Amino acid sequence: MSVANNDLTKFLSQQYLCESLTITEVQTLLEYTELVILSKNEVISDIGEVGEALYFVVNGEAALLYEENGQETEIGRMTVGELMGEMSFFDRQPRLLRMRAKSNDTQLLKLPRVMYERLRVEHPYIAVNLLEHAIVSLDHLVRRVSQDEMSLARYMFGKAKR
């Protein structure tokens, strides 16, 4: 195992995704992923694509962007330790948002669908942990967007009266 893999094992062991996994299980998970390194503003996945991979942010940030009339609006930002791409990955519907690296040296662990399918069969306990993390990740995103929406509504319309 390379130094990079040792560093990734240590990093992942400290993340919510792997908090109930042993070091050996974390290393097993890494065998199913690939490290992707992106430059600032590089597109990770685009609107209209069906998600064929899950991504876990190891370094840097990624923006979730909505495009209308050629203008991008940032809907959310994924930071170190967060999973992204899970919605389209699991429901197999086209993406509504673009994912774009927002910093140089953005590093993502990519879990392609074919490797996820193998992981489900060969290591179901690890796959269940990944699914649970995907649910929590989606919940956090929905809560952030909802909170931003409520703040905007309060700003525009004033505090709601009872």
Report the chain (162 residues): mean pLDDT per 10 consecutive residues: 61 68 86 94 95 93 92 90 88 93 94 95 90 73 68 67 49
pTM (2 decimals)? 0.78
**In degrees rounded to 5, what are phi and psi of residue 144?**
-60, -45
All structural domains of the chain, each given as residue ranges with its CATH number in brackets, are 33-157 (2.60.120.10)
